[in-house]
Structure 1
Amino acid sequence: MKKIMFNDKYSLTQAVLDGRKTQTRRIIKCPKAYQENPAGCFRITESDDVSPLFEILVYDKDCNDFVPMFIQPKYKVSGVFAIAQCYESLGMNPEIALNDRDGIGFYTKTKFAPGWKNKMFVRADLMPHHIRITDIKIERLQDISDKDCLKEGIYKGQCGSADTHFMDAYYYKGDIQPYCTPREAFAALIDKVSGKGTWESNPYVFVYEFELVDYIKNIEHENHIS
């Protein structure tokens, strides 16, 4: 099983665990052929013939035409992936993996292993929470709808005071700045997570829709009991 990581600084992992975040956008890196030809064009169409691959048409200046290339998303529909969390945050006993030969467990005889505080190094099979990918599509970053911004973890609140009046506003965790629309809040968030200027550059992204499998299992279990 593979793992998937969400940003902790802006509480996106927690948003997934709370069921508030059910989409994630991952920037598609342009093929090398396009990077070497900045004057060329770049466009993407989903290819039904080679699903789950996606067709990229890269402009080749030598033949003055679009040349098809194919890319495959990192995560696949129906795939189940472990949500990466550092061992310390999960409250695990560091002595559980005392004799872990590969050294990527919680603890060694002399020091804590990297996965204790850095979730990049954790083992997927030791993670307690999982998501299942339910859909994948490609779009430009700025094509995101207000509805999908909420699926990305943006939440609705209010700003103002009782002395004046309250009005609806949108936020992301880690920032108290109110935004008038979900898109404005998401634009600010993506620049924090992926780097300043990401929203403005409007890259192509894989849009992964997912469900929290552990949450669904718990609900099914409760319904079965009742």
Structure 2
Amino acid sequence: MKKIMFNDECGLTQAVLDGRKTMTRRVCKYDRPNETYDIVFPVFEPNDYDNDGNIVSPLNYAFGWKNDKGYFTGWNIPKYKVGEAVAVAQCYKSLGMNPEIALDDKDGIGFYTKTKFAPGWKNKMFVRADLMPHHIRITDIKIERLQDISDEDCLKEGIGKYFIGFDSLHADYMGFTYSFDESGKYKYPNAKQAFAALIDKVSGKGAWESDPYVFVYEFELVD
């Protein structure tokens, strides 16, 4: 089973577990090679479909780049598939696991050894997917530029919408403020500005401005 990580500093893991975040954008592995290349999608053959007409090709939701001379860079394939269950990564310590529990450390999967804690104790990058208690199921995938996100999708990404009354001096607020932080520390006049700030905080300053292609994964919490 695969695992997926959400940013803890911005509260995104908890937002997923609370059901407030049901969508995530992941930057594609490479962007447009140069201005002569256009985005292209796979052309499916009859044997790429099952008996019910569903696409079963591994290239489903993939895209690639081809220039005006026909030179092709290869397919950019999403990491996850529709219908796939994915473990939500959390460090072992946050899950309350006993640090003295020893598993088969020859494979680096134990929580604790006689001399040190295993990497997954505090760093969820190194945890085992099969030991994670929470999972999501991918329900849809699409490809778009980062800045093409809709206001509706911003809310699915975990942006909160908070009522502040109708007597605000700022007309753009229209009685609401938006934030990626439940404490309300960060406030923005609209959902897209809040999401842009979140992306820059999670992926580094300038991530929003660079406007890369992203795979958009919509999901539901399974457990």
Asked whether the 8 Å contact 1:24–1:152 carries over to 2, the reply is: yes
- 1:21 to partner: Cα distance: 0.4
Amino acid at match of 1:195: G
Corresponding residue number in structure 2 for 1:219: none
1:184 aligns with 2:180: no
Corresponding residue number in structure 2 for 1:222: none
Corresponding residue number in structure 1 for 2:127: 122
Using the alignment, how far apart are the partners of 1:46 and 1:146 within structure 2? 29
Of 152, 158, 164, 2:157 maps to 152
1:6-58 Cα deviation digits (max 9, x unpaired): 11110100000000000000001226xx54xx343342446555644223233
Using the alignment, how far apart are the partners of 1:39 and 1:72 within structure 2? 21
Stretches of structure 1 lacking an aligned partner (at least 5 in a row) = 215-226
Q: 1:92 to 1:149 in 2, by over 3 A?
A: same
- 1:164 to partner: Cα distance: 8.1
Asked whether the 8 Å contact 1:105–1:123 carries over to 2, the reply is: no
Asked whether the 8 Å contact 2:28–2:76 carries over to 1, the reply is: no
Identity across aligned pairs (percent)? 64
**TM-score, with structure 1 as normaliser:** 0.81
Q: 1:100 to 1:186 in 2, by over 3 A?
A: same
Using the alignment, how far apart are the partners of 2:24 and 2:84 within structure 1? 15
Amino acid at match of 2:22: T
Look up the SS of the partner of 2:106 in the other structure. coil
Look up the SS of the partner of 2:24 in the other structure. strand
1:49-99 Cα deviation digits (max 9, x unpaired): 564422323326xx3x56473221101111111110000001111122255
Stretches of structure 2 lacking an aligned partner (at least 5 in a row) = 49-56
Q: 1:47 to 1:22 in 2, by over 3 A?
A: farther
> Number of matched residues?
207
Look up the SS of the partner of 1:209 in the other structure. strand
- 1:5 to partner: Cα distance: 0.6
Corresponding residue number in structure 1 for 2:3: 3
Look up the SS of the partner of 1:153 in the other structure. coil
1:103-122 Cα deviation digits (max 9, x unpaired): 33211111111110000011
Amino acid at match of 2:203: S
Corresponding residue number in structure 2 for 1:40: 36
Of 105, 111, 115, 1:110 maps to 115
- 1:163 to partner: Cα distance: 10
Corresponding residue number in structure 2 for 1:138: 143
Corresponding residue number in structure 1 for 2:18: 18
Using the alignment, how far apart are the partners of 1:158 and 1:89 within structure 2? 32
Using the alignment, how far apart are the partners of 2:121 and 2:167 within structure 1? 46
Using the alignment, how far apart are the partners of 1:6 and 1:163 within structure 2? 34
**TM-score, with structure 2 as normaliser:** 0.82
1:126-151 Cα deviation digits (max 9, x unpaired): 11000111111101111111110000
1:175-225 Cα deviation digits (max 9, x unpaired): 6121111111001101111111111111110000111111xxxxxxxxxxx
Cα RMSD, aligned residues only? 2.6
Corresponding residue number in structure 1 for 2:52: none
Asked whether the 8 Å contact 1:80–1:131 carries over to 2, the reply is: yes
Q: 1:176 to 1:42 in 2, by over 3 A?
A: farther
